[in-house]
Structure 1
Amino acid sequence: MPVTCLVSAKSCGVTTAALALTLACARSSLLAECDPAGGTIRAGLLRGQVSAGYGLHHLAAAERVGPAELAQAFAAHLVPLDGSAGHRRALLGLTDPAQAAALTRTWSALSDVLHVMAESAGHDVFVDAGRLTLDAGRLHAVLTPAPLLHRADLVLLTVRGTEQSLTLARHLLGPLRAELAERGTGAEALGLLLIEDGPYRAHQVADALKVPVLAALPWDPAAAAYLGVGGKAPRGFARSRLLRYARTATEQATVFAARRQVHQRYPAPAHPHLAGLADLPDRPVSSRGAARG
């Protein structure tokens, strides 16, 4: 399963989008709230029901002891997002932005843990990396969890379909693409998650930013408000447009990440007459030849 990082140029509903993807996922899922500016799920959706005794900031001390201690601390600090079912869990974010500096050397080790959760434990992993901050054209070492982005299977820049959002995103795309190409899994890991708020549609956003829109979520104020502040879920929340679109988005992310892994493992053939094989359309497998689960 993929590790997907969500980021933004400015507040574009990254946390709400990450929560929607985590809750809508058809498989076991995990949300790591890794915004150095501080987490909002604890006081928002969970309405302060989880104390500061749980959360991301406790992992720094464990990481300094060793990998086994970090893994144990990580497991101990996960909290359920779906009641007692436990199929959707979260690592809650910082309670104070001042804690971010202590995590600078923890991000790489945490990335290892998240990939184990995805690859060995079969979880869809979503990382709320918050608002991107640059320092001399690179991701800021303290204000952005850069190692998580470097290792991610997919990095989704969250944008709205407005002129303001596209303008802000445009200034970040060059440095972010270069960073992923130089230090990450490749510039091809970058895509857009469109929040359908504003006049611009997906194809217009992709054309304007020269980056593919890999998924879109509808503007659903009632469902988004619940994810932001908690309380009583609106009627029909589980069947809301936001969660229905979010489930589709998780499947699109999985397919995209799987294709990237194939291309990375088997680069395009050097022979020109074979190059077209990489672009063959997907074809459904007949029931006669399909594996039975």
Structure 2
Amino acid sequence: MPVTALVSAKSCGVTTSALALTLASKRPSLLAECDPAGGTIRAGFLEGEVGAGFGLYHLAAAERTGPDALAHAFANHLWNMDEAGHRQLLPGLTDPAQAAALGRTWPALSEIMHVMADDAGYHVYIDAGRIALESGRLHTTLTPAPLLHQADLVLLVVRGTEQSLALAKHTIGPLRTEMDERGNGADALGLLLIEDGPYRAHQVAEALTAPVLGALPFDPGTAEFFAKGGRPPRGYGRSPFLRHARTTTEHIEAAAARRAIQQQYPHKPANPQLAGVLQRLNERGGQRG
């Protein structure tokens, strides 16, 4: 299963989208709330059920002890979001000031997430929050850069509005360069569209020169439920929002599988001699015409 990181140029519903994908997936799934600006699921969707003594921040101290301590702490700080344990959550930071302590933890944490994906069969979703840039690069404290570098896919969450696309255009170039030079390649970058606004998927893909790998309908009622918890809106289980989220998880898995095959069997460059023959044949054909 893939490790998929979700980010945005500004607040575009990253956490809501990541939560929806995690809950809608047909496969076991894990949501790691790794936004350096702080997590919101603990106080929102979980309605304070999880205390501050539980979650991401405590992994930093464990990492300094060693890999075994980090792996043990990671398992102990996962929260079951269903009775079967098929939906797991790593709750985020309770204070943005805690983010600086995680700088050296991100790479090791990324390795554990890939073990969860590759060996345990979990589709791992990372809520990486808002992209922060410094001199055209991912900010090393305000963005969990190693998690993006090592993710199988990075989805930039955008809305179909002029404002959202304008902000995304300034972000996607540096993000593409970052993935190309330090990450898994620029082709790991895709878009997740929130269908709020006049622009449709093909227009968004053309404007940002990146594929739209999924789209979620604008659903304020369900979004509020994910943001604040409480009673689900009527028809929640059969809502278009969850249906589209489930379809999006399948598209993400298919895209990640295609990339894995392409990386395993890369396109071989053409034989230079054969290329020369073909060029001469084409030239002759043009002269005869």
- How does the TM-score come out when normalised to structure 2? 0.93
Match of 1:2 in 2: 2
Query: Secondary structure at the residue paired with 2:213?
Result: strand
Counterpart CA distance in 2 for 1:141 and 1:45 is 28
CA–CA separation in structure 1 for the residues paired with 2:154 and 2:38: 20
Matching residue's letter, 2:142:
L
- Residues in 1 aligned to 2:133 and 2:162: alpha-carbon distance in whole angstroms: 21
Counterpart code for 1:27: R
Query: Counterpart of 2:286?
Result: none
3-state SS of 2:194 partner = strand
Shift of 1:242: 1.1
Moved more, 196-205 or 262-271: 262-271
Counterpart residue number, 1:19: 19
Q: Which residue of 2 aligns with 1:33?
A: 33
Report the 3-state secondary structure (helix = DSSP H, G, I; strand = E; otherwise coil) of the residue aligned with 1:159: strand
The answer for the alignment partner of 1:182 in structure 2 is 181
Taking only aligned residues, the RMSD between alpha carbons, in angstroms, comes to 1.1
**Aligned letter for 1:88?**
R
State the match for 2:151 in structure 1: 152
Shift of 1:86: 1.3
Q: 1:191 Cα shift? A: 0.4
The residue that corresponds to 1:50 in the other structure is 50
1:109 maps to 2:99: no
Q: For 1:56, what is the secondary structure of its paired residue?
A: coil
Q: Which residue of 2 aligns with 1:286?
A: none
Q: Kindly provide the amino acid, as one letter, of the partner of residue 122 in structure 2.
A: H
Aligned with 2:50: secondary structure? coil
How far does the alpha carbon of each residue in 1:250-280 deviate from its partner, in whole angstroms, 9 at most, with x for none? 01000000110111111113237x9xxxxxx
Cα distance in 2, alignment partners of residues 81 and 249 from structure 1: 20
Equivalents in 2 of 1:78, 1:270: separation in Å?
Answer: 45
1:1-293 matched pairs, under 5 angstroms: 1-82=1-82, 84-271=83-270
Q: Which has the larger radius of gyration?
A: 2
Letter of the 1:70 counterpart: L
Alpha-carbon distance in structure 2 between the residues aligned to 1:28 and 1:263:
25
Letter of the 1:58 partner, please give it: H
The SS at the match of 1:224 is helix
User: How many corresponding residue pairs?
Assistant: 272
1:239, distance to aligned residue in structure 2 (A): 1.4
Aligned residue type for 1:205 = V
Shift of 1:85: 2.2
